């Protein structure tokens, strides 16, 4: 079958296309041991278990005196318990003797409890005279004491496989004696830009600087993958076939450009000859010429050549592919609620990604200030809080890279809508900052 000849008479809806990609992708099972200093954002392959208590010793929870609780029984303002003050542990040898009957040892918050002590009397409930301590309030066993393991107990399971490590997790791991963790290896992604017109620098007339491969490679790293950014491959079936076969050892192969149905759009045909094209043409805008297939169990994602279309489809298909392959959680994009400054048009049945800006207020010296709109009811009365105003970018073509690079996010128009009206309340996806 010449997949180019079929054109885009029928396209696949975005949700169905992503489901097919998910079915075609098998998470890898490679693992490695990673030191904590390099483990942020890595996904655990095995559970993390505490190797020691936290705290690992009984400690004072208050400033005061460590005592045996039974020696303070009956103490009160009129009849204080009289105890003998003994030197604190840090003032004697490394192996201090147990606290004896009717003895007290001065401690500070966090100090190790002396052997034999089982409670702490707060300093404000005591008075000292030379080597005697008067205790005016009885304490119970364990009072004002943080016991060993109060925070974390030895052998406690802290994190299960599949957990993505945050900075706070690394601190907890270190506190329980864990210095390295077993993680899934980052999925390996090969990115090959295609097109005989592409050059890396100093373009002549008719030539174009290659940006898609570089951009996609950086997103691969941000999304948790390990990118291999290949040299440009020209529009030649033999060269394209060799490029794909070279990278079949990777978890995911990505091509940019050559994914449509023109004479030089050879990638779909090459993928179909080597394996099988599963989807070619998706009902989204910009970038409906996206497609993907499988060659010898390796998914090949064919991204369009127009820069904005390439980015939109990388977010929609490559990002989840990396997450699924590497056991990474696929979180939602953070959003900002806003009011549209101008209407957005959309074709019925097509999911549209409209770039918008939350522009700074020209009347203020604060560059972070954002113009806001007040929501009103049918009578024109203000309701709720002020929301930022989202202005659709003037340049909206799929080839205008600046329109997405300078945008603050995009508004997603679902397939069932023909757009959003000016003044309508919308969610602006901040897709750039989602991991």
Q: Are residues 258 and 141 in the same domain?
A: no
Domain presence at residue 3:
no
Cα 83–Cα 87–Cα 92 angle in degrees, nearest 5? 150
Q: Are residues 158 and 250 in the same domain?
A: no
Q: Are residues 199 and 161 in the same domain?
A: no
pLDDT at 365: 47
Beta-carbon count within 10 A of 130 CB: 6
Q: Are residues 189 and 179 in the same domain?
A: no
Q: Do residues 262 and 195 make contact, with C-beta atoms less than 8 angstroms apart?
A: no
Dist CA 139 CA 117 (whole Å): 12
Q: Is the confidence at residue 289, as pLDDT, over 60?
A: yes
Q: Are residues 321 and 196 in the same domain?
A: yes
| CA-wise closest residue to 398 among 260, 304, 283, 300 | 304
Model confidence pLDDT, tens digit, residues 54-89? 989 999 999 999 999 999 999 999 999 999 998 876
Q: Are residues 45 and 161 in the same domain?
A: yes
Q: Are residues 297 and 253 in the same domain?
A: yes
Pick the last residue of a domain from 137, 168, 184.
184
Domain presence at residue 227:
yes
Q: Is the confidence at residue 431, as pLDDT, over 90?
A: no
Number of domains, the chain: 4
* Mean per-residue pLDDT, 40-49: 96
Domain presence at residue 330:
no
Domain presence at residue 9:
no
Task: Look up the CATH number of the domain holding residue 200.
Answer: 3.40.980.10
The overall average pLDDT reported for the chain is 89
Give me the domain span that covers residue 157.
33-54+150-184
pLDDT at 260: 85
Q: Are residues 91 and 136 in the same domain?
A: yes
Classified as helix, coil or strand, 35 is strand
* Mean per-residue pLDDT, 371-390: 62
Domain presence at residue 197:
yes
Q: Are residues 209 and 125 in the same domain?
A: no
Q: Are residues 37 and 18 in the same domain?
A: no
Q: Is the confidence at residue 38, as pLDDT, over 50?
A: yes
pLDDT at 368: 45
Domain presence at residue 198:
yes
Domain presence at residue 95:
yes
Q: Are residues 231 and 371 in the same domain?
A: no
pTM metric for this prediction? 0.81
- Tokens 């029984």 identify what position? 73
Q: Are residues 140 and 86 in the same domain?
A: yes
Model confidence pLDDT, tens digit, residues 139-189? 999 999 999 998 899 999 999 999 999 999 999 999 999 999 999 999 999
Domain presence at residue 7:
no
pLDDT at 342: 92
Task: Look up the CATH number of the domain holding residue 179.
Answer: 3.90.105.10
Dist CA 312 CA 290 (whole Å): 10
Q: Is the peptide bond before 323 cis (omega within 30 degrees of 0)?
A: no
């Amino acid at each position: 079958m010449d997949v180019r000849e079929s054109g885009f008479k029928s396209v696949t809806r975005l949700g169905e296309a992503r489901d097919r990609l998910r079915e075609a992708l098998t998470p890898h099972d490679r693992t490695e041991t990673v030191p904590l200093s390099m483990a942020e954002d890595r996904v655990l392959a095995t559970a993390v278990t505490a190797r020691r208590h936290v705290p690992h010793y009984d400690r004072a929870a208050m400033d005061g005196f460590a005592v045996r609780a039974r020696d303070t029984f009956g103490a009160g303002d009129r009849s204080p318990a009289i105890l003998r003050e003994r030197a604190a542990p840090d003032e004697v040898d490394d192996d201090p003797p147990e606290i004896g009957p009717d003895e007290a040892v001065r401690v500070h918050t966090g100090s190790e409890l002396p052997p034999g002590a089982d409670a702490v009397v707060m300093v404000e409930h005591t008075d000292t005279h030379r080597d005697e301590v008067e205790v005016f309030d009885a304490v119970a066993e364990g009072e004002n004491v943080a016991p060993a393991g109060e925070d974390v107990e030895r052998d406690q399971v802290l994190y299960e496989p599949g957990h993505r490590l945050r900075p706070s997790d690394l601190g907890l791991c270190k506190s329980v004696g864990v210095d390295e963790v077993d993680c899934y290896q980052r999925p390996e992604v090969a990115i090959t830009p295609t097109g005989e017109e592409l050059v890396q620098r100093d373009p002549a007339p008719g030539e174009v600087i290659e940006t898609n491969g570089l951009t996609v490679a950086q997103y691969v790293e941000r999304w948790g993958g390990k990118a291999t950014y290949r040299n440009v491959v020209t529009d030649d079936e033999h060269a394209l076939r060799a490029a794909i076969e070279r990278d079949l050892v990777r978890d995911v192969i990505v091509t940019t450009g050559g994914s449509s149905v023109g004479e030089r759009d050879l990638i779909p045909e090459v993928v179909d000859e080597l394996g099988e094209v599963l989807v070619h043409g998706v009902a989204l805008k910009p970038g409906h010429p996206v497609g993907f297939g499988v060659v010898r169990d390796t998914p090949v994602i064919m991204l369009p050549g127009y820069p904005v279309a390439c980015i939109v489809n990388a977010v929609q298909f490559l990002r989840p592919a990396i997450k699924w392959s590497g056991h990474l959680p696929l979180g939602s994009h953070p959003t900002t609620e806003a009011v549209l400054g101008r209407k957005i048009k959309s074709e019925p049945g097509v999911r549209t990604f409209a770039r918008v800006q939350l522009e700074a207020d020209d009347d203020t010296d604060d560059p972070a200030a954002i113009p806001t709109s007040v929501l009103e009811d049918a009578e024109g009365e203000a309701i709720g809080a002020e929301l930022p105003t989202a202005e659709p970018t003037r340049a909206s073509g799929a080839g205008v890279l600046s329109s997405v690079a300078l945008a603050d996010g995009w508004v997603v128009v679902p397939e069932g809508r023909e757009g959003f009206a000016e003044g309508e309340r919308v969610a602006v996806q901040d897709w750039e900052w989602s991991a």
